[in-house]
Structure 1
Amino acid sequence: MYIEASNKVQGSNAVLVAGPVTVGPTDLCLEFWYHMYGKDQGVLSAGLRTRGQANDVKWFKKGNQGSDWYRGQFDIPSNLGVVDILFTAMVGNNYQSDTAIDDIILKNGSCGIDYGYCDFQLDLCSWSNSKDADMDWVFGKGKTVSADTGPNNDHTLKNASGQYIYIETSRPSVSGDTARLMSELFPPRNSVCFHFFYNMYGAGVGALRVSLVSLNSSTDSLAPIGPPQVLWTLTGNQGQGWQEGRVPIPTQYFSHRVLVEGVKGTSYTGDIGLDDLSFTKGDNQPCVVSPASAQPQVTTTPGAPMSTPLPTVPATFNCAFESSYCGWTNDKTAAKQWARYRGATFSQSTGPKADHTSGNGFYIYLEASSGRLNDSARLLSPNIQPGDQCLTFWYHMYGTSVNALSVQLWDAPVVPGVQSDKKVTIWEMRGSHGDKWLQASVDLGGPSNRFARQVVIEAFRGSTYSGDIAVDDIKLTQGACANFGTSTIDCDFENADICGYMQENSDAIDWTWASGVTSSSNTGPTTDHTYRTPSGNYKPASLI
């Protein structure tokens, strides 16, 4: 796929959407190949869009990268729920800015690279200055404006043209003024190691602190759960030059941010520099506080794991619907109800002909003959306790008007006074998938699962009668699901259906399916990446 930049307005965007993808307790790695050749090259970015949230850019490239295919990749953190993956290409200032992508693959596990990395060469990346701070972290190049304090150059490029950020301690700032740099909002996740480089040179240097802020994601304002937890703190003059800092971030059971604070000391000779921030996981050596003198006093981690043993799966959870709904119940407040049934449903060309268990038993289904678009039936499970658990079930979605089936977790608080999200969608499937039963495996556990939960299976009616949705053989087992399963994201663009990827309606241009050379000279690829031949396909874009 590529964008054709000829006769396009500079800055026009083409957005390609893949998904939805359900992200459970295992980190994922998205890998793809990109081609950005041409002297007028614009910008290519890739990222995530969670339901109801703004786009989160995870990968970014700008300018001419040469006439070859290069690999791009980024981590998708665990426990995000249902997300879309977005590829956005922006046209440069002339026609020589064709951009292409190919061979997109979604893998289990981390990519094995740093994430959350920022070298401050262009901007603050995913970090931001806190609006309630006394002052901001500001960009610097070369030496700071005050003598006998601050860096002489950045850490990344190690020259006067590279950028870093720092606190400027000249007037009008006063002693104790604080600048706060906030990370992006992270979901609950396993432990990671925060790396950064700092420069604390000057007789008047105050303090540098790294803290963790746990947040209650069930409130619109993301209210903090207790005060920030200081993980790393260093005070006073540390000498000239950049030094490495490391901070272990323990497993988190709530949404959270990392906070880096620079505090002004006694005078203008107190500039503090910061550069090359990143988070890593799976290190071969343990992550320990560095330098050791930055170790703070021991504090209690908000949301520490409970020490009490976890109950087993309720006996009434597993259900084949042969004689009853077991421990499951219909939500009486929903517009429609799940029905137990045997044999074929009432309508032709939709629904199953038999159950999954034996071919002669019962299943449950949403009858689509009556009702309105998006009317839904909700099936509520018995409460389950926190821990790594795997939900498996079989579903049947066949018919021209099949809408959607989703699995949600509704929380039942076990920590007094602390509410988690009431309703989180962790799996979703849309549209017709043929006249057959298919199996789904959904992880329910991981660090985020600190609350007793109720599983909710919700089916949505489509626009006509031809939208019956059925479910059978629900089972819950302890431990994470064995594997991620077959990814619906993987795509080499060899077929015209482009793997079900969608063009965003709100952009100015579209990605285009193509092979061989693009229509403009000195820009774009000459072959695809998959087969390295002119007959192989990749993805470009043309004006809508």
Structure 2
Amino acid sequence: SKCDFEANSCGWFEAISGDHFDWIWNSRSNLSAEFEQQAPPWDHTHRTAQGHFMFILKKSRSLSQVAKLQSPTFSQAGPGCTLSFWFYNYGLSVGAAELQLHVENSSDPTVLWRVLYNQGNQWSQATIQLGRLTQPFHLSLDKVSLGIYDGVSAIDDIRFENCTLPLPAESCEEPDFFWCLHTKACIEKLLLCDLVDDCGDHTDEANCVPELQCNFENGICNWEQDTEDDFDWTRKHGPTPTLNTGPMKDHTWGTAKGHYLYIESSEPQVFQNRAALLSPVLNATDADGCTFRFYYHMFGKHIYRLAIYQRVWSNTRGQLLWQIFGNQGNRWTRTRLSISSRRPFQILVEASVGDGFTGDIAIDDLSFMDCTLYPVDLPTPPEMSAPVTLPPHNCTDSEFVCRSSGHCVEKIQNCDFRYDCPDQSDEAFCVCSFEKGSLCEWYQPIPENLIRDSNTFRWGLGNGTSIHHGERNHRPSVDHTINTTDGWYLYADSSNGKFGDMADILTPVISRMGPKCTLVFWTHMNGATVGSLQVLSKKDNVTSKLWAQSGQQGAQWKRVEVFLGVQSHIQIVLRAKRGVSYMGDVAVDDISFQDCSPLLSPDRKCTAQEFTCANRHCIAKDKLCDFVNDCADNSDESPFICSTSSGHCDFEFDLCSWEQEQDDDFDWNLKASSIPAAGTEPAADHTFRNSSGHYIFIKSLFPQQPMRAARISSPVISRRSKNCKIIFHYHMYGSGIGALTLSQVSISNQTKVLLNLTVEQGNFWQRKEISLSGDEDFQLKFEGRVGEGHHGDIALDDIVLTKSCLPSHWSMKEEPAAPLPTGPCPHGYRECQNGKCYKPEQSCNFVDDCGDYTDEDECGTSCTFEKGWCGWQNSLAENFDWVLGVGSHQSLRPPKDHTLGNKYGHFLYLEATPVGLQGEEAHLKSAVWQESSAACTISFWYFISAKATGSIQILIK
């Protein structure tokens, strides 16, 4: 069973003598200097020059030289038999070698293995599957010289494993085993009638039903080529036409004379073309189901996918039972699948072409156990449900028909979260629990040609009773509503489609939503290759991402909140994206819209404690300037009301009056959700609820390390503030979350912790409101601390200090009792270049207080860009930046500037490069001007090239 060649050649010998090109048993140390360069420097067994091996010794330059190392003759080999050895094939003209199988009474050998040319100055291992061989056989390792051989060829440490047949047993009484008639071996009953002689006397293959087996020796039996695929399986014997892919022999006989089916991955086939083979229609013989056995061969660099489906309707693909991707090695592999079905069914074997010609996939020895043939074809799929029948009515196209009474209401009242029909049917199908297997009026925008294509990745209704064994680890066994296997839920079935496919399901058009409207639902995302789930809003064919989740989240239902706020005439979209394989379905249940009723028209005047909105609605004054559209017309968030709020920041351009601390470990990052995230950052900001809005966050990825902290600090707040509050929104999601701390620090450096969050808070924005007070002026500090893992980002957005929070004249950066600094200007003043002094508030007020414009120099009040940026700067909120440059005829920018009118003059420009992708923004910010007159105007010159498609806007912040 094994040979290390230390004692002798173990019966292996040179079969062709007399041509002076022979396999020789020896060691490197025993060779003369004339021949030692033709042998490896050491053997494989002991790694010494004294160790023995077989190698080729050449003593002639004849053109007809062949070295054939032949094994002893073996009587037979068991089903699991494999051969392994170590070989040496080194040198510029060493040539190829191949291992051949010679079966008694067969004239043509079968090539089992081949090595091409130089493999490096090293020992390499080869493993070859021999499998069941019922006739005597021997092996040979052949090499042809062709007169130009120059190199080292050797073999060592040959080993045969699992090559014996099962030993005889005195009895075989266990119910799941079979006692072989003549050899008296005891084998599993699952090996019966599988087209393999496991007993060694063929009695395990006696009394079988031929119609339930196919070895492809005489065609494809009662299997059929599918007519709905892209091309057909090919019947073949010997190797496939392309090198380095496909089998060299079949599985039934283990020789090149045996037949198998394979897919040819070369032209005209293209990536993901499918070939499908259909079994006869079958029935399970009992309630335990039946078994399907087969052998597959998937060898090659460009192998893609082999899949097994079970279908109960004709013209469909059915449910995915099993699939495998990629190169599985140059061997036949057995697979056994249990099939459970109360209806007649068919098995569909489907192979898909990879992205290259070395992607041949083969199958052989297909068999069924405990199944019976069913003589009738499968039925066609049931038709789609009929549309709702409306009662008699006189409603116009602009009105909604109440389902029971036929009353008419305005369409804007349909799906507005208020009951207007007597039977409440105007709101009946807008929200859906999916019980009773109904989608309500939610729908999927699937092209007509794909509606009946079962291969399409799509949403469907399911429950625990419809799960087959291949889905148990990635589909919910119970729903969330009633927590039973009978309860229904919505899921995107990853059995169908391919990696990256997306499935959308949409609500009916929702006419209106109120300011507090929140979407709440439960998700189940489990499995090794779960894709992602997104929530989007759609209006006028424009979609905005509101929420996203990707990857495995565990085998339980999880609650999700998505704030929607005031919206009109929109649809909510649930978008599932398929992962790399079938092992990961996305499921949702119990979708609800909470607090979504639009505001009622007021029938009274607002009180003194309320704010009167522009639309005459009344809201509490403490809801002003909190980045929530409480009025439903945004008048409570008007810049004219909110611009004077200290610490008020939505992070759209910068950190506003908040500042990064200097004594922490790193800084908070300003980010737009449109920039790709690591998976735990918000999909949308809180301000605008879309992916273009900004927020600040701390990264948990490298180079950050656990327990490192980033801090931002507020302006100093006066101790005289009464009813002062901070309102902010935070997002803390991920398994490796760190900590978010809000502290109040007095001017005497006394710290009080107001909030400390240390665990995951959910994948949505949460609002927090905290009252503030102190005996001294104080400052607020947010600290984000990195956790132990890479999945735990912390984000902040929409921070508000209410209007009752009064600013202090102190700066925490200054010691209030410190003496005045020495110099020409008193404490708190700045020095002009001419030696005069000015106050900070005199900077950027459009007045030359210094007399030499020092106080206005870096304000951007007047700038030709000939001496730099003049105080203008790019916003940290965007990755796409303005650049200072000069004219050029080689790009789309202006050939000359406006100031000097030549190519040497400077200007700011945006380059049309891949850095600036469609929809990205570049923000150019001025300094903060203190105030301006009523007649103040700004003028500038701009240039937009003929091919430009973007736009320029001026905003006041």
Shared fold per TM-score greater than 0.5: no
Structure with a larger share of its residues in strand? 1
Q: Larger helix proportion, structure 1 or 2?
A: 2
